[in-house]
Structure 1
Amino acid sequence: MNQTKQTLPARVKSALAGGLAGWLGVPIGLDSGAFWAAWFGGRNFTGESVTVNSTLQLSTAWACVRLLADTLSTLPVNVYREVGDTKTLAKDHELYRLLHDQPNDNMTAAVFWQIYVACLLLWGAAYVEKRRNVLGKLSALDILLPSCMMPPRIRDDGSIEWTYNDPILKKSRVIAEEDLWYLPAFTLDGLNPISPVQMGANVFGGAIAADRASASTFKDGMKSAGLVTMDAVLKPGQRDEIRAHVKTVSDQGGYMVLEKGAGFEQLRMNPQDAELLATRGFNVEEICRWYRVPPWMVGHTEKSTSWGTGIEQQMIGFVTFSLRTWAVRIEQSAKKDLMTPVERGSYSVEIAMEGLLRGDSASRAAFYSQMTQNGVMTRDDCRKKENLPPMGGNAAVLTVQSNMLPIDKLGENNPATAAKDALAAWLTSESSDAT
């Protein structure tokens, strides 16, 4: 019984932390599926309790979530006004301030988006409550805890009703469909999200078990348990003396001295036989595969060139297949849930992926050079992105690489063209005089 009291808190510590969040003071019944799922964690082969908290205690899972969430949260989220083929920043739109600068009174945009993406990666869905002012216009966006959301209920009229176990008010409250911005990370029916942590319980549970075995091995000083065998029947006092001697050697080190044909037989596998390091390395790759993150980006450099021809190609793959997919989902969801039907025809939301070049001066300079030399951007456009004042004049004119002429001036003042025209005029004149 004493042993149970000592081991029980350690075994359920993560389950308690993950299961009780947001449920204090809220009535819990047998049909409270969200609570029981958070309490027991995902089922897995190892028997470990896999919850969001226990998953984040894995260094690889923590690194993957931090990498994706922190990277996306630092990219500018812009609102554009579209008139014909022209697209301009709509800084006067209220949604621009909320998405780009400050979604609510308590969070900056970077903190808001970091939490938003982390919810998608851990719970498989992000829930944001829309706040409106007295005029009914959108005034704030508040992040809700996914662990406190109950499964949606479809009303008789076809609308969706959400129930939120508010951890601040200590009670459940109903949120109408039009007041909730909901984005599932992965879903099979468009409504119910699939939790990455619960679906990956075997992956995360195996990693947790490997970490526990590793910690236990090093805690015991990498000493193996075993049996002391004797060729004679011992008296109780002799058994106690041998146990005390073995324990002293195990705790303090040194050599065991055994008599009367005694022998020692090892029971536990040593780390080499168990391939503990190889198992932990494989778990790193498994978790990275789960989140579509190159292992070298979380410090696992054993196979850093297995994707593409080098680090540059791996970076392109990470942006294309990891960051870009999340960005598109967020952009489309924000336009659908945060804009009115009328606004959707003339406004759009975009996450500026070129913000990743902000820390790379050489790549940024090459990008600006290509854009200006090919007539895509003006020099003033580049200066604005570098927070420099516009110069005006020719700096606001589109140019191309050929003599750096304005696009609408191509062909004018070209020496070859002028010579050709002059020759044609002279031939025409000579022909007229001969006639």
Structure 2
Amino acid sequence: MTNDQLAAKERRLTLKNGAGWAAAFGTGNHAGKSVNLHSVLQLATAWACIRLTAQAVSCLPLAMYERRGDNDRVRIDDDDVAEVICDSPNEDQTPLEYWESQVAWMAATGNAYSEKVETGRRLSALQPMASTHCWPFRDAEGVLKYNYSDRGKNEVLPREKVFHLRGFGFGGDVGLSPIQFGAQAFGSAIAIDEAAGKLYGNGLQASGVLSSDKTLEKDQREALQKIMERFVGSTNAGKLMVLEAGLKYDRLALSPVDAQMLENKRFSVEEICRWWGVPPIIIGHAAQGQTMWGSGVEQILLAWLTLGIDPLCDRIEARIKKQLIRPTGNRRRYAEFNREALLQMDSKSKAAFLSTMTQNGLMTRNEGRAKLNLPRVAGGDALTAQTNLAPLHLLGNATDNNTARAAMRAWLGIEQSERLPDDHT
């Protein structure tokens, strides 16, 4: 068998490729519904969980840094990898669009793939690859490769050509897909949505009955059935029905099973949120008796950022360092998302953060102004700190008069060596 035939055999979708079959035809479940990426994205809860997770990560500014002596670090802009991941990933996408798509793929399927385009030994672009069309496998020698199907053509890419983001898993070559392992929950949610849609399509009511004290002929029943069909469905709601020959219409009330189904629809929202670790309040769903505002909601948001968004950022940063930076030989460089950007829309928290950082000597005034997009000011590059606390052995060295004079000198801009006219000390 030739090498081309061996490659073609490896590219075929075999019975062992469960992920490939699941992506194409869906995963089986007791509800009997096809559960795949397309069907799951039609659930509003799944759409919101994936969208908000992808947007929360992609909106964080990404930059590359290099560690220097004394554990100092500087930002690196004139670097090929930094230009690709921070400025222009490829010819078509902005950095926000690229990382949003990668996080969305990883959240939905557990994996995100991009082809590394290189000019010589220089990384020039990252071209996204659909996770539903890419399957990692190991050849007979145990070497990791990627089988990618694009526009009807199959291609086998070596490990060095693919930037692979893995989601949660137990090790191995791929992350676990929430859609595949949550097929029971998603199948039930799809079935509930379908049943609810049919219920609303019938005017949110079960069938009704017509009664009469007379016996109808067969042709009369058929004619009456056609007449009644004009009043069935939500599009015919409100029409006036005229009954004759002693006919009476009795509407059947909504059955307890149908009413419970609508309650199950609320439960399915919380069940789906668990698969992505997104609190229901984040997607606009409040549990019974819970409000949409308050300090409790704020703590839930912080927990989601800490346990959901931050681990995703760490996962992406580690993969960038391993697959994009280390091959260049720059082991001191690393990429990092700026988590402080999450405070951009919270003016109170941002003001408290900047105030604390500048008053405790951790950030200069100009560094704080830069985060507010304000111009630099003269004298703003010095680190400052509060001096209201002093060691015990210095207590009593400063008097109230001296403090007042020092404040007056600072206000008037007088140097320490100069004296005020009434200063006789």
* Range into which the TM-score falls when normalised by the shorter chain: 0.7 to 0.9
Residue 163 of structure 2 corresponds to residue 176 of structure 1: no
1:42 to 27, 40, 43: 27
2:365 to 366, 375, 379: 379
Could you tell me which residue of structure 2 aligns to residue 142 of structure 1?
A: 127
- Residue 278 of structure 2 corresponds to which residue in structure 1? 293
Cα shift at 1:234: 6.4
1:240-279 correspondence to structure 2 within 5 Å? 240-244=222-226, 246-248=228-230, 250=232, 252=239, 254=241, 270=255, 273-279=258-264
Q: Distance in 2 between matches of 1:339 and 1:155?
A: 29
Taking a change above 3 Å as real, the CA distance of residues 337 and 350 of structure 1, as seen in their structure-2 partners, is same
Q: 1:403 to 1:418 in 2, by over 3 A?
A: closer
* Partner residue of 1:416 out of 370, 387, 396: 396
- Whether contact under 8 Å (2:204, 2:254) holds in the other structure is no
Q: Is the 8 A contact 1:187 1:193 kept in 2?
A: yes
- In 2, Cα distance between equivalents of 1:222 and 1:342: 63
Residue correspondence of structure 1 range 120-135 to structure 2 within 5 A: 120-134=106-120
For residue 58 of structure 2, the aligned residue among 73, 98, 101 is 73
1:200 maps to which of 179, 182, 186: 182
Q: Are 1:326 and 2:312 counterparts?
A: yes
Question: Alignment partner for residue 348 of structure 1, among 315, 331, 334?
Answer: 334
- The 1-side partners of 2:241 and 2:382 are apart by 83
**In 1, Cα distance between the equivalents of 2:309 and 2:124?**
28
Task: Quote the offset at 1:253 in angstroms.
Answer: 5.5
Residues in 2 aligned to 1:231 and 1:263: alpha-carbon distance in whole angstroms? 13
- CA gap of 1:311–1:264, structure 2 versus 1, over 3 A, is closer
CA-based RMSD:
3.2
Q: 2:50–2:107: 8 Å Cα contact kept in structure 1?
A: yes
Q: Distance in 1 between matches of 2:292 and 2:231?
A: 47
The answer to whether structure 1 residue 401 and structure 2 residue 383 are counterparts is: no
2:269 is matched with 284
Q: How much does 1:247 deviate?
A: 3.4
Distance change >3 Å, CA 86–CA 274, structure 1 → 2: same
Q: Is the 8 A contact 2:115 2:161 kept in 1?
A: yes
**Distance between the aligned counterparts of 2:313 and 2:25, measured in 1?**
32
1:311 and 2:297 correspond: yes
May I ask how many residue pairs the two structures share in their alignment?
A: 380
Per-residue deviation, residues 283-305 of structure 1 (Å, max 9, x unmatched): 11111122111212212123546
- Counterpart position of 2:408: none
SS in 2 for 1:416: coil
Distance between the aligned counterparts of 2:115 and 2:107, measured in 1? 19
List per-residue Cα deviations over 1:283-340 (Å, max 9, x = no partner).
1111112211121221212354699951221121111111111111111111111112
Contact 2:64 2:333 in 1 (8 A): yes
Do the aligned partners of residues 35 and 182 (structure 1) sit closer, same or farther apart at CA in structure 2, a change above 3 Å counting?
same
- Deviation per CA, 1:192-246: give whole Å up to 9, x if none: 3321111111222211111111111111112323677899986533442453454
Query: CA 1:192/1:231 → structure 2, altered by over 3 Å: closer, same or farther?
Result: farther
| Distance in 2 separating the partners of 1:163 and 1:181 | 14
Structure-1 separation of matches of 2:12 and 2:212: 60
Contact 1:245/1:256, CA 8 A, preserved across alignment? no
Q: TM-score, with normalisation over the residues of structure 1?
A: 0.78
